Amino acid sequence: HPDTAIYIELIDNQFYIFFEKQQGPGGLPVGTSAPMVCLLSGGIDSPVAAWMMAKRGAQIIAVHFHSYPQTSKQSQENVEELARVLRQWNAANKLYQIPFLEVQKHIIASGVDPKYRVILYRRAMRMIAEQIATREHARALITGESLGQVASQTIENIAVIEHGSMLPILRPLIGMDKEEIIERARQIGTFEISTRPYEDCCSFFVPEHPETKARLQNILRAEQTLDENGSFTKIRDRATLGL
């Protein structure tokens, strides 16, 4: 048994000599997988989801939805800082800030059942994120959903939200509990930023009793009401103007 282990590696005709191996996060080099769009909320979960998919080689394009000026700019500022931390891991090479207030106001003004609002918000976000994915030649969407964690993340609601998606939706946290996610957030340096107070756009105009087991036909019927004369499609498209 030697007193000291000496390691030698030959890379590009150069020898590297070292005396210790330290365990890193592992994974694949960023860029070895296709680009992907991550919906980055500013909370604890989605930055961890972005990091985990970057660990599998994905180049991450982050998309954040905000309700400014109805809410403060705090969520936008938090997400900018989260993106800087993720960039240190090569996990958020680009960030889009999407104004979402007009979409929300249209949903509310349409008179659809308030219990469907969050699901309609999330379907609209998914559609806008797909537009950005097309622009960026991305091949998948990423979310920070964890099964059953909040009302919109039941299996029934997840199925309705992703219905009609043009791209696969990857959910690396789907089987993790909150403590596991928090531990990973601490490890990658996003936890402190994610726990700062901010007004999330999905907590804006939220009904007292949101739907937890949505039926697809009810949501599609609500979207038909929203899109009378193509109005909802035009509002969604306007959200990405000027990007």
Task: Encode the chain (243 residues) as per-residue pLDDT tens digits.
Answer: 678 889 999 988 899 999 888 888 888 888 899 999 999 988 999 999 999 999 999 999 999 999 888 877 888 999 999 999 999 998 888 999 999 999 999 888 888 898 999 999 999 999 999 999 999 999 999 999 999 877 778 999 999 999 999 999 999 999 999 999 999 999 999 999 999 887 776 666 777 788 889 999 999 999 998 887 777 888 888 887 666
CA geometry: angle 218, 224, 230, nearest 5 deg: 160
DSSP secondary structure, 185-229, as one string? HHHHT-HHHHTS----GGGTT--SS--SS--HHHHHHHHHHHTGG
Domain boundaries of the chain, sorted by first residue: 7-238
Do the Cβ atoms of 173 and 144 come closer than 8 Å?
A: yes
Question: Strand 60-66 to strand 94-99: parallel, antiparallel, or no bridges (unpaired)?
Answer: parallel
- pLDDT confidence of residue 1: 61
List, in sequence order, every residue forming a beta bridge with 17; answer none if it has no partner: 8
- pLDDT confidence of residue 237: 82
- pLDDT confidence of residue 38: 97
Distance CA 223, CA 203 (A): 20
Do the Cβ atoms of 222 and 160 come closer than 8 Å?
A: no
Q: Is 111 exposed, middle or buried (0-12, 13-18, 19+ CB in 10 A)?
A: exposed
Do the Cβ atoms of 60 and 170 come closer than 8 Å?
A: no
Q: At residue 234, what is the residue type?
A: K
Q: Which CATH number is 7-238 given?
A: 3.40.50.620
- pLDDT confidence of residue 202: 66
In degrees rounded to 5, what are phi and psi of residue 69? Answer: -95, 5
